[in-house]
Structures are given as structure tokens and as C-alpha cells.
Amino acid sequence: MSNDFLLVHKSILPESFPKIIEAREKIAHDDLSVSEACKECGIARSLYYKYKDKVFAPSGSLSKKVILSLKTEDFPGVLSSILLAISESKANILTISQDMPIHGLAYITLMVNIKTMTSPLDDLLKKISQLEHVKKVEVLAYD
């Protein structure tokens, strides 16, 4: 990977960066002028021109695999419900590693192929985190 790029969560970026992406999409798809798109998105034209070639939203093809770490309560059927949620999102489970439960908690690591998913990864993470007995879900790595 080139040292010129970083993958960061949008929560640490200035509020204007997603608006720049939105303005660029309006120009490309809605046939708006730069001035009109910037006005609709609430950003200055100078800000748009400064960052328009530097800020991008990831495409669906950016990542093909993701490694998930889960902390769950040790109850029968928890892993099955997680796997069902992944399957329903049209993702493919590549590996499963489940540690021995300690003090009623089980730790699970999954590698999932997300290339064929029908919805964003964030939707899947939210769905899994809302399952009964799931305490924590986090992304360890993208590939």
C-alpha cells in the first residue's frame, strides 16, 4: 500500500469532507454546476476545489475481506445466529475461530468475504451487535 493514502473513519474527519464527496456526486449525476452543488451541500466553492481530488468514498470493490472480532455471552445458538445474519447479507464466511468460554464470555474471530454483500458493512455490524447475547462487534482488519 502506498504511503500517500490512509483509511480512516469519517468520525475523525472534518464535517466538510463528506459534503465534498456529496457535491462531486451531484455534479456528476444530477447535472448541477459546481456553484449549485456547493450551495446545496453547504460548502464553499474554494473548499470544494481544494479537496475535490483528494477526498473519496470507498467503493464496494475496495475491500473484499474483513476480519471481525466478537465478544458474546456463552449461550447455545449465539454463533448460529451470527452466522445466519452474515449469510442473509450475502457475505461468505471464510474462517471461524472461537476460543474457550471464560467467565461466561466467548470470543469469536471471523474472516468474511464481503465482496458479494447486498448492503453496507455497517448495516451488518449493527445487525450483529443487536443480536441477543452479543456484547461487542468490531472490525479488526480489511483486506
- pLDDT at position 53: 80
- pLDDT at position 34: 93
What residue type is 119 in one-letter code? S
Domain with CATH 3.30.70.260 in the chain: 65-142
- pLDDT at position 2: 45
- pLDDT at position 25: 87
- pLDDT at position 62: 52
User: How many contiguous H segments (helices) and E segments (strands) does the chain have?
Assistant: 5, 4
User: Which CATH code fits 65-142?
Assistant: 3.30.70.260
Q: Which residues, listed in sequence order, are joined to residue 109 by a DSSP beta bridge?
A: 69, 97
- pLDDT at position 120: 87
- The low-confidence residues of the chain, meaning pLDDT below 70, are 1-5, 58-63
